[in-house]
Amino acid sequence: MIISFLNQKGGSGKTTLARALAVEFLNNDWSVHVGDMDVSQKTAFNWAGRRAEAGIKPEVEVALYREPKAALKAAATNDLLIIDGKAFADTHVYDFAKQSDLIVIPVGVSADDLEPSLNLAMELINKGINKDSILFVVSKVPKNGDKEAMATRSSIENWTFNVVQGWIPIQTSYSQAMDIGKTIHETKFKELNTTVDRIIQQIVDKALLLNSNK
């Protein structure tokens, strides 16, 4: 199975969600490989290094790739390949989208974030990608931004795209967790973890459903 986190917009939450999803599947005994496509930032790769150094289980296997073709090869030897897409990657996006069971597009609440992301999804559909294989996740919602988050979800639904219930708030505890090699559902705070669990579970369910219908 292949799940790709794609959005040309940097800082939308691709790497954050990709890591959490990897750990979720690993905890369910899947073999998982993460392809970090951002060879200059290496965010997922470096995070996995911090995680291994700190001895946090399960260890997450992350490799850096420049070429989609090279990354996609890892799908053959793992139950799940997670692609952590890079910013400004116009051509890569389609290469991954057409091979993926599920395409997750994390999006922030501002119009600046939302419009390019909706355009990206439209572009994929115009190129023949099945609309049902695209799933939006509203991410990085600022404090007191619930109304904005709801409005963002509604806009996405008005465009008739799938969007997960709920959203991921901005929390210092989330970035702190990732700084020490943890995921955003491995913080010290049960409630914060549960918020993420609910989102991750919807991504898992959607991916399994799409995969079983193949």
Ligand X SMILES: Nc1ncnc2c1ncn2[C@@H]1O[C@H](COP(=O)(O)OP(=O)(O)O)[C@@H](O)[C@H]1O
Question: Interface with Mg ion by CB under 5 A: which residues?
Answer: 14-15, 43
DSSP state, residue 153:
H
Residues 125 to 164 in contact with ligand X, rule: CB under 6 A = 140
Q: Which residues on adjacent β-strands are paired with residue 103?
A: 4, 134
140's contact among Mg ion, ligand X, none, with CB below 5 to 8 A by partner kind, is ligand X
DSSP-based three-state secondary structure for 43: helix
**Residue number, 154 or 175, with CB nearest to Mg ion:** 175
108 Rama class: left (phi>0) / alpha (psi -120 to 50) / beta: beta
Evaluate the CA torsion angle 106, 202, 72, 22 in order and state its sign. Answer: positive
CB 89 within 8 A of CB 37: yes
**Residue number, 81 or 210, with CB nearest to Mg ion:** 81
Any contact of residue 6 with ligand X (CB under 6 A)?
Answer: no
Residues 100, 133, 152, 171: which binds ligand X (CB under 6 A)? 171
CB 106 within 8 A of CB 6: no
Any contact of residue 167 with ligand X (CB under 6 A)?
Answer: no
**Residue number, 11 or 49, with CB nearest to ligand X:** 11
Tell me, what amino acid is at 201?
Q
Rounded to the nearest whole angstrom, what is the least distance from the CB of residue 172 to ligand X in the complex? 7
Any contact of residue 4 with ligand X (CB under 6 A)?
Answer: no
Rounded to the nearest whole angstrom, what is the least distance from the CB of residue 100 to ligand X in the complex? 16
Listing DSSP states for 112-137 in one string gives HHHHHHHHHHHHHHHTT--GGGEEEE
Rounded to the nearest whole angstrom, what is the least distance from the CB of residue 104 to ligand X in the complex? 11
The binding site for ligand X (CB under 6 A) comprises 10-16, 43, 87, 140, 168, 170-171, 174-175, 178
